[in-house]
């Protein structure tokens, strides 16, 4: 049986491109503001003795805090996995077998079906979604790094 590959993105939208430390820091900062919106609203309302606003702050806390924690952990896990794949991954080639249109947030993207093969690896198929680019078409070969232990991979050299 062929193993299934799992794409470990540097960027959730741009194929093979990292948002860099500033971009990543801004995402973490936005998640921090998202998570603290409810508690800060509740504290401000408590100081001003505004009962309804306190309830709104409590509601925001219940809704936004778990969401912020979820996205924070997901981002941290993806960054950790991407660093691991870059550290232990073996170079391989991923040939685009199929391209279909897909939505990437508000943008038009593509879902790529890849056939990945490299030295010491069992060939495997994988899928990933990214923003559309002119050179992403059937037959295009992408350079990837693959972790042989779990077939997680990331695109490099773009």
Helices (H), the chain: 20-48, 51-88
pLDDT of residue 12: 59
**pLDDT tens sequence across 14-49:** 666 667 788 888 888 999 988 888 888 888 877 776
Give the SS3 label for residue 118: coil
**Residue 157: CB partners within 8 Å, gap ≥ 6?**
16, 143
Confidence category of residue 1, pLDDT binned at 50, 70, 90? very low
Q: What is the pLDDT of residues 129-154, one digit of tens each?
A: 888 888 899 999 999 999 998 899 99
Kindly list the domain boundaries of the chain, sorted by start residue.
20-84, 90-156
What pTM was estimated for this model as a whole?
0.71
Contact 152, 90 (CB under 8 A): no
């Amino acid at each position: 049986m062929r193993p299934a590959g799992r794409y470990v993105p540097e960027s959730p939208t741009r194929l093979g491109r990292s948002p860099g430390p500033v971009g990543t820091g801004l995402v973490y900062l936005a998640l921090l503001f998202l998570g603290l919106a409810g508690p800060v609203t509740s504290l401000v309302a408590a100081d001003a003795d505004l009962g309804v606003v306190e309830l709104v702050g409590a509601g925001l806390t219940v809704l936004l805090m778990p969401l912020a924690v979820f996205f924070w952990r997901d981002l941290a896990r993806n960054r950790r996995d991407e660093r691991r794949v870059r550290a232990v991954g073996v170079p391989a080639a991923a040939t685009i077998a199929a391209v279909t249109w897909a939505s990437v947030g508000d943008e038009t993207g593509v879902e790529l079906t890849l056939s990945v093969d490299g030295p010491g690896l069992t060939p495997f198929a994988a899928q990933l979604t990214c923003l559309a680019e002119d050179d992403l078409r059937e037959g295009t070969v992408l350079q990837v790094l693959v972790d042989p232990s779990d077939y997680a991979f990331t695109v490099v050299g773009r």
